[in-house]
Each structure stands twice: as C-alpha cells, then as structure tokens.
Amino acid sequence: MDRFDALQLFTRIVELGSFTQAASVLNVPRATATHAIKQLEKRLGARLLDRTTRQVKPTLDGQAFYERSKRVLAELEDAETSLSTHVASPRGTLRLDLHGAHATAIILPRIGEFRKNYPQIDVVISSGDRLVDLIKEDVDCVVRAGQPRDSSLIVKKLANMPQIICASPEYLARYGTPQHPRDLERHQGIGFFSRGSDYRYPFSVTVDGSVQEFKASGWMSVNDAECYTSAALAGCGLIQVPRFRLEEHLAAGRLVRVLTEWACPDLPVCALYPFHRQLSPRVRVFIDWARDIYVQKFGALNH
C-alpha cells in the first residue's frame, strides 16, 4: 500500500472509529489495513491510534496527523480533478440523504434530468427527518431546511423558503384567530423538535422590522414534518412551515393562513457535505444542479 492509500486508510479509520469498517469502505482486507497502519506508525516513529476491543481513537499525535492528512488529501484531490476528464464527465455512486418533502416534492420529480445530464452517476437516496452521521454512514451530501448546526460540515445554501403560520378552520372556530403575533402565546401551538432533543421551536415573526419569537402552549409535539402537517389538519393547533408544502391544503380550505399582515422569516435550505467530499466532482455537479432547481422554485438567493 503506497503512502497515498495509507493516508486515505488512516483518515477513514479515524472517522469511522473502526479498522474493519474502514477496510470495508476502501475494499481492502482487514489484515492489509492493520499491516499498513503498523508500517505508517513505524515510518513516522509515533503511535497514531489507541486500539481497544470496541473502538479505535487517535492519540494526540494521531489527531494532529489526521488534521494534516485531511488537508493533504484535499489538495491532492484538487490537483487530480483539475486535470481529470472526470470533472467534465463525473462517474460513480452519489449517496444522498434528503429531507422527506425536499425528496418527494422538489428533487425526485426532476431527478431524471440529473441522470440525463450525468449518465455515469448512479444515485442512492435515503430519506427522513433524522440526523445523519455523514462520515459513519458514508453519505456524500444531505439537503436540509433550517440553520445548519454542525460546524464540521461544508454548507452551500440552495434557497430561502417563505414560511406561513396556519391552522385548520375547526381550530380557528374553536379558539379564535390571532390578530397580532403576541396573541400566539395564548394559542395552542403544535410543537416541533429535533430528534434527540426536547427543544420546541417557537414561532418566528417579523415585527417592527425585527424577528421576534413567540412560544405558544400546546399539548402535542412531533419530530416529523408530515406528522406536523397532519396534526394541524386534525385541528390540534397552529403550525409554521414553508408555504410550498401546504399549497394544496390552503387551496382546498383545509388550512387557513393567519397573521397575513406580518411576514415570517424565510427558512434556508442548504446542502451539507463532509470536508473530505468538498472537491468530489459528483457532489459538485449535484449541488450546482440542485441550486438551479431550487432557484426555479423559490427565486434567486439574495447575497
């Protein structure tokens, strides 16, 4: 195994915390991986990894070497792809994870266009609202709405989605219609929280030129976007969501927009990908294509 392959192997072991998983991802025998790391440590004169029966972690020297290795591999990939025909005609498997609504309503209806433009890229898509560990699950790119929280990922904004606050006619008939954003605090709001956290997102409304948050009471919380809409349709309370997801329900009168005189802040939607994928031609062309279809749907980004 040459030095480049050994560096790739070492970084994957650190990221996955496992010799076996890293060897599987790189399609090399487990014994070969073990021997290559021993040779790397011998050449460097330093122990890079602490090994236990359950986990592999970098030593202090190993963590420092990992950070340098990532930069070296990124620069090498940049040099290779700048001269490679793969930039003009990328190939291989692109692994994506897409939030449900973005998969079914925006990207999948037009994914045939992507395949037509890049016929040598095969696409594998997982979908849902759960948080994905891009490194351990070997995902190239995710598309998510909201403010990104993981500072270790590269973020490319695709769009700003207009939001509205709405409820079912049955709910409004029973509890009344809020006339001012501060009325939200006296209403029933359906809580939305992230998996692994009990934090309920408040309603956000622009009042007198600044974004203000209002916490409604409520007896139901969900962590799935489809359940959020379904709960509103069932009369359980008010919700705040991107308008594009509700057009059919609004047109049919199943949901009614409230507080129309006050704007809600737009919700960003972004593509996120790991540092070591930033120069991948497959990721690059997907993000460029996705940005175009989001611009067509929501308008150009204001920079």
pLDDT tens digits, one per residue of 76-97: 765 665 555 455 678 888 989 9
Q: How confident is the model at residue 136 (pLDDT cuts 50, 70, 90)?
A: low
- What digits encode the pLDDT tens for the residues 196-228? 556 678 999 999 999 999 998 999 999 888 899
**Cβ–Cβ < 8 Å for 1, 32:** yes
Indicate the residue among 55, 83, 111 that finishes a domain. Answer: 83
What's the number of domains the chain is made of? 3
Cα-to-chain-centroid distance, residue 1? 34
Which among 49, 83, 117 is the end of a domain?
A: 83
Does any domain span residue 223? yes
Please check whether residue 73 lies inside any domain of the structure. Answer: yes
Residues 167 and 260 occupy one common structural domain: yes
CA distances from 112 to 58, 119, 143, 293 (A): 43, 10, 18, 13
Q: Are residues 257 and 290 in the same domain?
A: no
pLDDT at 261: 96
Residue 151 has pLDDT above 80, yes or no: no
Separation between Cα atoms, residue 202 and residue 223, nearest integer Å: 14
* Banded model confidence at residue 277, pLDDT cuts 50, 70, 90: low
| Together in a domain, 140 and 283 | yes
Beta strand segments in 64-129, E: 92-98, 121-127
CA distance 118 to 139: 19
Is there a single domain that holds both residue 234 and residue 285?
A: no
Domain boundary among 83, 113, 148: 83
Read off the amino acid at residue 180.
Answer: H
Q: Are 31 and 173 contained in the same domain? A: no
Query: Are 177 and 256 in the same domain?
Result: yes
d(CA 281, CA 179): 51
CATH for 125: 3.40.190.10
Whether residue 221 is found in the same domain as residue 172: yes
User: Does 284 lie in the same domain as 143?
Assistant: yes
Around 261, how many Cα atoms within 13 Å sit in the side-chain half-sphere? 6
Amino acid at 147: Q
pLDDT of 114 higher than 80: yes
Asked if pLDDT for residue 127 goes beyond 90, the answer is no
User: Does residue 303 fall inside a structural domain?
Assistant: no
283 and 203: one domain?
no
Residue identified by tokens 């496992």 is 18
Residues 176 and 41 in one domain: no
Could you tell me if residue 120 is inside a domain?
yes
Is residue 254 assigned to a domain? Answer: yes
**What pLDDT shows up at residue 25?**
82
**Mean pLDDT of all residues in 136-152:** 78
Same domain, 202 and 253: yes
- 9: containing domain: 3-83
Confidence at residue 139, expressed as pLDDT on a 0 to 100 scale = 83
Residues 192 and 275 in one domain: no
